[in-house]
Structure 1
């Protein structure tokens, strides 16, 4: 693990040694816990493993594999995820989620929710302070409830469940 600073950017890199032979594939696990000032805009990039973010100001998450859970984020957020469940609770601002595989579960966003792309998995959105827009969705159900704004969609393969 090493930390590098470049001007206003601080980068933490964790490299787990990999050894593979035909008889014994080793896999290493590591948990990284960071305490970040609430008002510090932060970008998270992860290649594998779960991400849990709580009560900070993450502006962007890029993830290849693993679940993502964000609670009490203090600013608008953009998530680009390849595989794994995405859960967002209590976000102050707008939210954009692009996802290839896995369910998306969103609750209590003060601004707009935009999902430009979701290849597979269910989408469940509840309690937004502005519009909800869903672009292309390959498969999976979509439920949207309690939106203070409009609901727009295009390129949806299945149906959308909206309360009356």
Structure 2
């Protein structure tokens, strides 16, 4: 039994070819599944940290964030992943983890300087998405790091409107007090 991950040689030309026709790389897969030791191994061997898959334009960091894999997010950031990288719809890693309620990942990204009020193609911020899903702890963290509680999206929606429309009373109460 091996205690350390076994990596292929950098000279293996097949190693970094896209895994699928959609340009999903081994690093995308390992990051999305939270396989920290595989992510570390792939990065050590020179896997492209900014690889972009074809359909959603997601990077490994997006996948680690949406799934809440904090150790993988940390490794990818240390390897130089763009903390504010945007996918096809303008979502950043912070949008993904805020919507999913992954507080530890949110705090890691904010601590590393992620743009707190970044907007997607609809004009929505990570705070709007956290409120839409009722993730009050994430909403508190975003506001504590300077998120605009009155930010309007392109249709005039605000975090309060999102939380109210979904019936998230605790989130509504928090936003009203802010």
TM-score, scaled to structure 2: 0.40
**Which structure is higher in helix share?**
2
Higher RCO structure (Cα 8 Å, ≥6 apart): 2
